[in-house]
Chain A
Amino acid sequence: MDNVREKLTQCFSLAFPKIDPGRFPEARVENLSEWDSLAHVRLLTLIGEEFAVDVDREKFESATSFQELAGHLVEEGPAA
């Protein structure tokens, strides 16, 4: 889980380079104004690349928080 959260934080850092990484664990679409639809596409593209998972699925596309994305990635198993 820690490894997933660490890699996910790196993805968030690249997708939101101007945001303090300390905010990411609690980041949600509602509390991060930079997290718009295009930023979501960028973030999922990064996650797909970094975790080698298929992000073209409803659960990833509809995820709206760091915690939710981390949960889905843990479910994906060791590959993630």
Chain B
Amino acid sequence: MRYGEALRINAQPALEGSRKRDIHLVCGFTPLHFETYLQAHLNLHFPGDEICVHTGLFNDLEGNLRRACETGSDGIVLAIEWSDLDARLGLRASAGWAARTLDDILAQVEEKTKRLEALLAAPGRATPVALIAPALALPPLVNLPPGQCSPFELQLRATLATFVSRVCGLSGVRIVSDHALAASSPPPARANPKLDLSAGFPYTLPHADAAAALCVPCLFPAESAKGIITDLDDTLWKGILGDAGSEGVTWSLEGKSQAHALYQQLLASLAGSGVLVAVASKNDPALVREAFARPDILLQPSQVFPVEAGWGAKSASVARILKAWNIGADAVVFVDDSPMELAEVKEKHPQVECLRFTPDDPAAILELLYRLRSRFGKSEVREEDRLRLASLRASAALEEAHSSEAPADFLAGLDARLTLEFANVAGDGRALELVNKTNQFNLNGRRFTELEWESYFRQPGAFAITVSYEDRFGPLGRIAVLAGRLAAERMPEESGPAVQCQVDVWVMSCRAFSRHIEFQVLKRLYEKLGAGNIEFAFETTPRNGPIEAFFGRMVTAGRPRQGLELPAADFERTCPPLFHQVIEKWTTSEKNLRSAFP
């Protein structure tokens, strides 16, 4: 991005009523062009929002980080340079590069990284951090022939690597990839010694642009895709199954089909991290089962659901897979070697991303694998991600069984166990993740940053119920979150009339539909509060039809309206028989949440 373009982007006024986002740029150098580019890339990432980039004092990385952590914001970009770890590693110091100085530098860097780690590990920090490690070359401190690495530099880099790998494990700390940075900003083109000496800004414009561009998605990752649908012949393996038979198709170096092995390996790895993998192939289903039964297959049949093998149009297979997965087409990638099949699917499902597998071009295959990794990339893989496929299989089994039994009998025989975890703290990231990615059963579509979610629970009487579910078809994991506020005057241990309650957030994963979980959650809430009614911050959104339909059963006239107030009597009138075994758990901080519930 040209510098002038960045300034023009930053000069655009925020839209009226837009959201304000405060970002701390923490560095020890003069922020100058890096600040400009960071703001521009944030503006592009959050169009129309008001972006405020806050900077700190020159040459005080540690103090700036401490203040940013204490202040709290939507995100921290922590840009470290060698001179921040020891001034003698920068161009602006002249304390000598004698051997004994180098030993002292190593000791200082180790101490400095420990102090930075302590700041990042402080329990009060809720703000996510994107850390960009030193990107500039070290000055010529050591006398060695060209091309030879010194023990000093290796020790220095080892200390840095230890620090970065340790903080990478801290909650909310994400490290900007060296590899990605090198691809967009080659190391020899990063330093601007003249500007470093004259203004304390060490980077060239292209490097400042590239580094800022990478920090933004690292801090605010885009929602990753959820499912991949793959073709089989000449895609998952080399050869045509119908011609070669299940033993004739290959995926190996010996079979000159290693590209297919790499692809299978990637799909298996994605499936292991919760990505849904399905097959859409024009093939004989029995032959497909035979091929997947081969012991050398790298993508296990248990990792694939559903397998659509037949002779109909691929677009129809894709439609059935989308229905089985119950996810939006925009979260799905389709891979096939045939341009015609790709075009046919794209025409019927324009939101599906269609990518071509080119078996004879290893470079293109490698590029495809990187692209898939990036499209499905997640900062964190949770237990629920790993359970997703099992729960989809369970849902399919449940639906199949459902069709042959009376609903009440069927639900009674599910042996369903519901765990309600009451809390007045934000908890781990799963609840927030669920709130931010659920569209259909979502009270109002409201999204939260990590800081906003933490702040929500600092309000008087704020609480959350996180719901986990399991039945004879298997566990679904944590599938629903309800957050609300109890009347403050009832906190903490007072007795008295029924508790007033406002529900601000209520989401449930579509994987958990048809089990009456939503009724059980409300039933428990009414019982616990002894309330005559509960207020819901309900708002219609383009995609929350299921929750509107749920409330629609209870409102006596018209459609559910914004700011719905639901009397207990109306709920009880429509509540079906419930058969869940309910377990309650409590997590509280300094406030005694349990005592607030009768």
Contacts and interface: CB of A to CB of B under 8 A. Distances in A.
A50 interface: yes
What class of interface size applies to chain B in its complex with A? 10 to 19
A18 B88 CA distance: 39
B32 A42 contact: yes
Interface string B498-528: 0000000000000000000000000000000
Given A42-B32, A45-B33, A56-B194, A37 B4 contact: no
Nearest to A18: B11
Contacts of A45: 3, 33, 205
Interface string B187-204: 000000011001101000
Interface of A is mostly: helix
Contact of A41 (B2, B4, B199): B199
A10 B194 CA distance: 26
Nearest to B2: A49
Interface residues of A, number: 13
A41 B30 CA distance: 12
B195 A49 contact: no
B3 to A, nearest CB: 5
Given A38-B30, A41-B32, A41-B195, A46 B3 contact: yes
A3 B30 CA distance: 33
A56 B8 CA distance: 23
B57 interface: no
A6 B592 CA distance: 67
Contacts of A17: 7, 11
- Interface centre among B3, B8, B195, B205, by most chain A C-beta atoms within 10 angstroms, is B3
A14 interface: yes
B558 to A, nearest CB: 50
A15 B30 CA distance: 17
B7 A15 contact: yes
Kindly name the residue among B4, B36, B195, B198 whose own CB sees the greatest number of chain A CB atoms within 10 A.
B4
Nearest to B200: A38
Contacts of A11: 4
Contact of A14 (B11, B30, B195): B11
Contacts of B199: 37-38, 41
A14 B7 contact: yes
Nearest to B195: A41
B4 A14 contact: yes
A49 B4 contact: yes
B208 to A, nearest CB: 10
Contacts of B33: 42, 45
A50 B4 contact: yes
A4 to B, nearest CB: 16
Contacts of A37: 199
Contacts of A50: 4
Interface of B: 2-4, 7-8, 11, 30, 32-33, 36, 194-195, 198-199, 201, 205
5 contacts: A14-B7, A41-B198, A42-B33, A46-B3, A49-B3
Interface of A: 11, 14-15, 17, 37-38, 41-42, 45-46, 49-50, 56
Given A17-B11, A41-B199, A45-B3, 10 more contacts: A11-B4, A14-B4, A14-B11, A38-B30, A38-B199, A41-B201, A45-B33, A45-B205, A49-B3, A56-B194
